[in-house]
Structure 1
Amino acid sequence: MSIPAFIPAGSRRSTRLSVVRIVLAALMLAALVSVSFLGVRMYEARAGGQSPRWFAGYVDVTATPRYAFEAGAAARQLTAREGEPLAEETPAAPAERAHDVVLSFIVAGGADSCVPTWGTVHGLDEAATALDLDRRIARIREQGAGVVVSFGGAINHELATVCDSAEELTAAYREVVDRYDLDTIDLDIEGPALSDAASVQLRAEAIAALQAERRAAGKPLAVWLTLPVTPAGLTTEGTDLVTAMLASGTDLAGVNVMTMNYGESRGSLSMLDASTEALRSTHRQLGILYERQGTPLGEAALWGKIGATPMIGQNDVPGEIFDLDAAEKLNAFAVRTGLGRMSMWSLNRDLTCGPNYPDVRRVSDACSGIDQGEQTFAALLADGFTGRAAEAADGVTSPDPEAATPVVDDPATSPYPIWSEHAAYLQGTKVVWRGNVYQAKWWTRGELPDDPVLDLWDTPWQLVGPVLPGEKPAAAPTLPAGVYPEWSGTEIYEKGSRILFGGTPYEAKWWTQGDSPEVTAVDPDGSPWAPLTAEEIEDLRAGQDGPGDETPDRAE
């Protein structure tokens, strides 16, 4: 399923609202938290321990009206709705604690220019004067917050697609990292850049070199990828890109997924459910990708390497609205699972549209399109995310010994039978494997429930969830003795005959003699016997006054 392109407002000079660019910024759930700019670092990066959980909203740097992120990184705009007089800069209400911000987007100066610019509108030097960007970054750092810069996006040219060599590309990335003294960067790769195999390899090589260079100089660099997602997880191109980055030696801080603009892939799911499913699917995929690279990670470590960026309010896809209730519940899911980061597109949009913007179905880059009252998405999504991106800048991803040791299933504490490679399973059958419950999506035999396939359609098993503490084997539905005769190896049974075997009722699918119902568990298709369903057994029990009241269907 194709992902809609997201176009950032900062890619244009126009003062009018851009529907497409709103989405792009959401895509880049970047993670660039700089510790200090033109001065002393405001906080220290922490080594080891649990990954920090941090929030940083996106800011479209070149959008008009200008969003004053330096006046309060988690605040919302107060004015500047279409049709109203615009101040030179839209103020942001001060927050109790300034959050990190993600500034977007750095792109190439043109189709043949390996020069970093802000949305092709301003070069780095020009942004220092036209946007007073250097001073504003210094100011927010004085408040103890960090600055994240995002490269790429849905439009313009990502640097890797125009630079001619890894050395030239490394130099372009380095110029931005050095200019803003960054310890975290985000690479928003989508659209043509995501499908461009040459640029994927070039980028991986350049980032690995830059990261090694920075680490050797004592200035470690955290690298996040921001990628499109569906409820089924990352696209094939997305998993290929992650693989290329890991294979290059790049130590990824994590993968941030754009939980927005799902289109047809959402089906009947709500925006909240589509987002949580997308995150769960990405978690599963990342586990496989890291294990393939020889770095198995545990559940908690993998959640810490995942970020989410919803597009607040009205999305670009008609009918897709991410409201305040969804934001609150997504935050609860993120805190419960230990999600590593949370973001949103965008701080520029975090307020109710004014009366001069009547058609809220048309996406605005200066308001959310829904009635927020006094609430802000930033406050809801940031709740519980108390860390800073910079805290993980010097972290090193290492194998988790426990993740490398498979869980040994115990039949005494498993609610369903342990999966066996010799057994055949009909659609709907549930089994336990390595501490999890799986359900067969279709007939299957010999296929591992946790087979490391990246696409869910490539496995016959659906993960239901973990085996819970205190669970015991589900009792097989039985009937009292005498309801049907006990199975006999010498008896002849016609199609439709019913018998009891160990208290479990079975019905013959065809003529049979000497075939034990016991083989049904191993070969349900080849066995002439089919166990009665729990519903059929309950119906029989409901219609009985006592054992033996039913006449068995058996050939005498």
Structure 2
Amino acid sequence: MIDRYHVTSLDFDIENTNLDGYSETATRRAQAVAKLIANGKAKNKGKDDTSHDLTISLTLPADAKGLTTQGMQTVNAFLDAGVTLSTVNLMTMDFNVASTSITQSTLIKSSLNAAHAQYKTLLYSRGKLFSDHQVWELLGATVLIGQNDTKNEYFTLDNAREINTFALETSLGHLSMWSLNRDQQCGENYTNTNTLKTFCSGMKQTDGEFATTLGSGFRGTPGTLVDFDNARWNSSQQAYPTWEPDVLYKQGDKVIWNGNIYESLGNNENKQPDSAEEGPNAPWRIIGPVL
């Protein structure tokens, strides 16, 4: 199939019973994909044009707290097999929360922010060097437009505008919806809009309005991570001072520590930049290498 249709990217939608974490099946699947990539590179060896190299993305279930435990295990299984993932795409839908109490756009942003922290921590533990911007480029979201599977849970056009703005501000790498054939208003004969339908959204809209709204100005591009070992720096060419323990740093101050640039997230002193402390009270965030 890949050879016949000149396929350059594959997405694996892994959910329900197939989302089995570190199982033997999951490991074999990841190893098979790694072999598929290697075979493709062997065929392209010596060619200047690398545009035909196969890229791999994963589409995984999510909730308001980000990727599920089994979803993270699936990502790990692919990374263990040596697969470079172009995108980890979250299915940000069916949160089982009535939209009258909290909007889906709020839940989606919560999910993506949590996944960003999850993936950043995972990649850092594997010796990958990155900025927040780079990690956002490696993430994606797929929304379920209009009525969701749960009664009174829906994704509106206002939600679409809000998620489009969020995607542009964060440099999200991928944004899609389920599905194009639902991107139209239901006919007059369908009065029960609290039930998900495969051919209309259940929302008052013009044809294709969700796609137009979500895609406005969006040009998602998967990011690229750099290995720690490839980063080099020269202390005589530092743009920022080296971190010192007895200096009081203010919010926005930047320092260099172990070849990386860090930004202070608030007033702090004696807080080593590469400490394990994370979350809302973290003293520093990594920006990237000094190259």
TM over 0.5: yes
Q: Which residue of 2 is the match for residue 189 of structure 1?
A: 14
Q: Report how far residue 414 of structure 1 moved.
A: 3.5
User: Which one of the candidate residues 273, 281, 285 is aligned to 2:114?
Assistant: 281
Q: Which amino acid aligns with 1:320?
A: E
Give SS of 1:319's match.
coil
Name the CA shift for 1:186/1:437 in 2 (closer, same or farther; >3 Å).
Answer: farther
Q: Which residue of 2 is the match for residue 449 of structure 1?
A: 277
Q: Report how far residue 385 of structure 1 moved.
A: 2.2
Q: Which residue of 2 is the match for residue 241 of structure 1?
A: 74
Q: Which residue of 1 is the match for residue 250 of structure 2?
A: 413
Residues 59, 88 of structure 2: 8 Å contact kept: yes
Name the CA shift for 1:266/1:369 in 2 (closer, same or farther; >3 Å).
Answer: closer
User: Which one of the candidate residues 435, 450, 460 is aligned to 2:264?
Assistant: 435
Residues 348, 366 of structure 1: 8 Å contact kept: yes
How many residues matched?
249
Alignment partners' CA distance in 2, 1:288 and 1:265: 31
Q: Report how far residue 300 of structure 1 moved.
A: 1.1
Q: Which residue of 2 is the match for residue 365 of structure 1?
A: 198
Q: Which amino acid aligns with 2:178?
A: W
Name the CA shift for 1:266/1:360 in 2 (closer, same or farther; >3 Å).
Answer: closer
Q: Report how far residue 289 of structure 1 moved.
A: 1.3
Q: Which has the larger radius of gyration?
A: 1
Alignment partners' CA distance in 2, 1:228 and 1:331: 20
5+ unaligned residues in a row in structure 2: which ranges? Answer: 45-51, 233-239, 253-261, 268-274, 286-291
Q: Which residue of 2 is the match for residue 204 of structure 1?
A: 30
Residues 227, 238 of structure 1: 8 Å contact kept: yes
Q: Which residue of 2 is the match for residue 262 of structure 1?
A: 95
Alignment partners' CA distance in 1, 2:104 and 2:284: 25
Q: Which amino acid aligns with 2:129?
A: P
User: Which one of the candidate residues 349, 355, 372 is aligned to 2:188?
Assistant: 355
Give SS of 1:343's match.
strand
Give SS of 1:244's match.
helix
Q: Which amino acid aligns with 1:399?
A: D
**Bigger relative CO (Cα 8 Å, ≥ 6 apart):** 1
Deviates more, 1:235-244 or 1:371-380: 371-380
Alignment partners' CA distance in 2, 1:436 and 1:412: 9
1:73-152 equivalences under 5 Å are: none
**Cα RMSD, aligned residues only:** 3.1
Alignment partners' CA distance in 2, 1:303 and 1:265: 28
Name the CA shift for 1:336/1:465 in 2 (closer, same or farther; >3 Å).
Answer: farther
Q: Which residue of 2 is the match for residue 382 of structure 1?
A: 215
Name the CA shift for 1:330/1:466 in 2 (closer, same or farther; >3 Å).
Answer: farther
Give SS of 2:226's match.
coil
Alignment partners' CA distance in 2, 1:466 and 1:324: 37
1:41-80 equivalences under 5 Å are: none
1:315-334 equivalences under 5 Å are: 315-334=148-167
Q: Which residue of 2 is the match for residue 221 of structure 1?
A: 54
Are 2:144 and 1:296 equivalent residues in the alignment? no
Alignment partners' CA distance in 1, 2:215 and 2:206: 18
Percent identity over paired residues:
34
Cα offsets for 1:88-127 (capped at 9, x unmatched): xxxxxxxxxxxxxxxxxxxxxxxxxxxxxxxxxxxxxxxx
Q: Which residue of 1 is the match for residue 49 of structure 2?
A: none
Alignment partners' CA distance in 2, 1:266 and 1:364: 18
Q: Report how far residue 375 of structure 1 moved.
A: 6.0
Q: Which amino acid aligns with 1:290?
A: L
Give SS of 1:228's match.
strand
Give SS of 1:359's match.
coil
Alignment partners' CA distance in 2, 1:448 and 1:386: 34
Residues 408, 434 of structure 1: 8 Å contact kept: no
Give SS of 1:262's match.
coil
5+ unaligned residues in a row in structure 1: which ranges? Answer: 1-175, 416-432, 439-446, 451-460, 468-556
Q: Report how far residue 355 of structure 1 moved.
A: 1.0
Q: Report how far residue 412 of structure 1 moved.
A: 4.5
Residues 186, 200 of structure 2: 8 Å contact kept: yes
Alignment partners' CA distance in 2, 1:342 and 1:203: 25
Q: Which amino acid aligns with 2:211?
A: A
Alignment partners' CA distance in 2, 1:182 and 1:463: 45
Structure 1 stretches of 4+ moved >2 Å: 176-180, 264-269, 395-402, 407-412, 433-438, 461-467
Q: Report how far residue 361 of structure 1 moved.
A: 1.0
